[in-house]
Structure 1
Amino acid sequence: MMGTKARFGIGAAAASLAVLAVAGCSGSGSSGTGGVTGLGGGGTNGGGSAALSLVADAMNKANSAGTVKITGTVTEPGVTNPVTMTAQEQYSPEVEMSMTMQVNGQSLSEILIGDKIYMDYPALSSEMGGKQWGEIDLTQANGSLGSLSSLVDSAKNQNPTTQISALVASGDVAKVGTGTVDGQQTTHYSGTLTPGELATLSAKSGQLSASQISTLKSLMQTGGVSSEKIDLWISSSGLPVEMKYSSKTSAGTVTGDMHMSDWGASVAIGAPPASQVYDMTSALTGAEASASAAAAANSSG
């Protein structure tokens, strides 16, 4: 059996993956952001008002949909195999998400409902009494686990259009061309978002709330992102079909390719049966307390 420190590390990493998936992969989030208004100028790519207006309209339409299904891949520096994922998400009126990822040949499933994260990680089954799902209740977590609450809150403050809305607000959007994506005729737009451009955005313009702008700044700063190139394909129905991003970070380039569908369709997201759930919150906070006590004893000795 693993030691308490090892178990804590795995659990914290698992919860962090859930948060990262929400904040980065799916761009998950909440409603209540309003529309994209007060468009910026022409931008460095010569986007022009027509491209900005069309992308802004698509963001408003997607923002109002309330639900979306996503499939995609994320590749990080030094990682040979990309992470693949499928997800369905409700971001209005409340945030709920279910997702399955393929990571290094393993299938990992996660569900986010309110302040609870459920994780189906086969490698942890023996540590959870053979139960399928581990649960972390963010309202009860403390210590380093408690910091996950603020991360999830930040993730909830984003929605599937937030990054692109920021791009529109910066004015850096250009029409690239047309093409067929997932069997749909689309128009391709592109632009680049930088920390400097985020610094000039204001909640007063109506594109994003002050909290969303702050969260985006924090995510870029924490990840050491110097720039993020975003490519977006919008269908003739006026909704996003695919988004690719390439983020230049201090550790290298992170890329993602997200395909979006079923905007506004019903989603079925629910907590696992209680009989299949292991209370990971108590186990991990207890393990952290034990590790902290041991560390304190060692230092005093």
Structure 2
Amino acid sequence: MSVSGRQFDDPALNTKLLTASKDVRQVGQETVGGVRTTHYEGTYSMTDALAKLSGDQRAQAQKSFGEAGFDKLNFDVWVDGRQLPRRVTVATPSGAKAAMKVTIDYTAFNVPVSVTVPPKSQVTDGADMLGGGGQNTPG
């Protein structure tokens, strides 16, 4: 989930955003969900990250991140031996206008999934939480 509920739930999009980093560094080896991984951390500017996206993706991300006032994000990513992400954490740096931290764990790849949408009473749009008046509330 992201500010709009769309940015951080797509592994391919996450990868594009993370590749905008100019300071990524290896932290060490860790086990995530029983899988041995290499842990990396870094930061990326929203300007550099948005430049990596296609027109539609860029417009949506720009709207979401712009409303929240994000100009830079910190990240950690844990990558397994097949070069697949097992965990991605993205957070605002200290002192940012709004605080956000999103952690996504990937437990399987290329397998069918079944998703049950929670009742609207259990869902909050991240943009609404940050005062952005988001439009993507499921339900």
Shorter-chain TM-score category? 0.5 to 0.7
Aligned partners of 2:40, 2:14: CA distance in 1, in Å? 14
Map of 1:238 onto structure 2: 83
| Structure 1 position 255, deviation (Å) | 1.4
Runs (4+) of structure 1 exceeding 4 A deviation are: 18-21
Change (3 A) 1:198 1:269: closer
SS at match of 1:245: strand
Partners of 1:247 and 1:19 in 2: CA distance: 12
- State the Cα distance separating 1:235 from its structure 2 match: 1.0
Q: Identify the residue that residue 127 of structure 2 maps to in structure 1.
A: none
What is the Cα deviation at residue 241 of structure 1?
Answer: 0.7
Aligned alpha-carbon RMSD (Å) = 2.8
Please say which structure displays the higher CA radius of gyration: 1
Supply the AA of the counterpart residue of 1:22: G
Paired residue type of 2:25: A
| CA separation of 1:19 and 1:229: change in aligned 2, threshold 3 A | closer
Check if 1:193 corresponds to 2:40. Answer: no
Matched residues in 2 for 1:234 and 1:258: separation?
A: 13
Structure 1, unpaired ranges of 5+: 1-17, 29-158, 202-206, 272-301
Aligned partner of residue 196 in structure 1, secondary structure = helix
Structure 2 distance, partners of 1:241, 1:178, is 13
Return the TM-score normalized by structure 1. Answer: 0.34
**For 1:223, which of 68, 79, 85 is the aligned residue?**
68
Report the structure, 1 or 2, having the larger helix content: 1
- Name 1:174's counterpart in structure 2: 25
Q: Are residues 263 and 209 of structure 1, via their aligned partners in 2, closer, same or farther at CA, if it must alter by over 3 Å?
A: same
Give the C-alpha shift of residue 19 in structure 1.
Answer: 8.3
Q: Structure 2 stretches of 5 or more lacking a match? A: 118-139
Q: How many residues align?
A: 116
- Contact 1:198/1:217, CA 8 A, preserved across alignment: no
Indicate the residue corresponding to 1:250 in structure 2.
97
1:123-163 superposed Cα distances (whole Å, 9 cap, x missing partner): xxxxxxxxxxxxxxxxxxxxxxxxxxxxxxxxxxxx22313
Q: Quick one: percent identity of the two aligned structures?
A: 23
Q: CA deviation at 1:171?
A: 4.1
CA contact (8 A) 1:194 1:227 kept: yes
